[in-house]
Amino acid sequence: MSSPATLRRAVFLDRDGTIAEETGYVNHLSRFCIFPFAAAAIRRLNDVELAVIVVTNQSGVARGFFPEEMVRRVHEKMTQVLAASGARVDGIYYCPHKTEDRCECRKPHPGMLERAAREHGLELPGSFLVSDRFADLDMGRAVGCRSVLVLTGYGRGEYEWNRTRWPQLPDHVAEDLTAAVDWILQEAR
């Protein structure tokens, strides 16, 4: 890539509703169901050397619904399932707080993106953010990422009922992560 430093571009992926079914609070491993198409989609990003970073709000920790250990186990399972299909994520960031904690990391604050950029040498402008929630896309916009809304999880309902109230539309709307990756690979060239 053309960047003078060795900064890489990234694709930031929301977890629930984007990589896996949106099942509400994932307070047990049995509630974490990765989409059957997720691994193949992520592998295509791996192949073109875009960094793949998962960013997820897990306020169930701050609310006392489950321990932080639960989040780690889910991510272990996610990593294993992806690896079994030859896919990998380069980093996983989660915010364990709730809104009232006023942290810097809870989406739509861009804290997780900025931290990932420092720790992985990423160039945020020109990177991409994919989520099933419109509010999540703001975190990417704030730092120059292009945004893709997927229609899995909450996406279809958000798009159908709320889009007339959005101050701006996502850069792209995709049926699911596979279609999001199709678009990203075209745009990232």
Full 3-state SS string of 122-150: ECCCCCEEEECCHHHHHHHHCCCCEEEEE
Could you say which of 13, 19, 92, 95 contacts Zn ion (CB under 5 A)?
Answer: 95
Tell me the site size for Zn ion, rule CB under 5 A. Answer: 5
Beta-bridge mates of residue 8: 122
Q: Smaller CB distance to Zn ion: residue 62 or 81?
A: 62
Report, in angstroms and rounded to the nearest whole number, the Rg of the chain calculated over CA atoms.
15
At residue 94, φ and ψ (nearest 5 deg) are -135, 150
Of 31 and 109, which CB lies nearer to Zn ion in the complex structure? 109
| Sign of torsion over alpha carbons 99, 138, 12, 38 | positive
Binding characters for Mg ion, 77-116, by CB under 5 A (x = yes): ----------------------------------------
Chosen residue from 103, 142, 143, 185 binding Zn ion by CB under 5 A: 103
89 binds Zn ion (CB under 5 A): no
Q: Does 62 bind Zn ion (CB under 5 A)?
A: no
Q: Which are the catalytic amino acids?
A: 14, 16
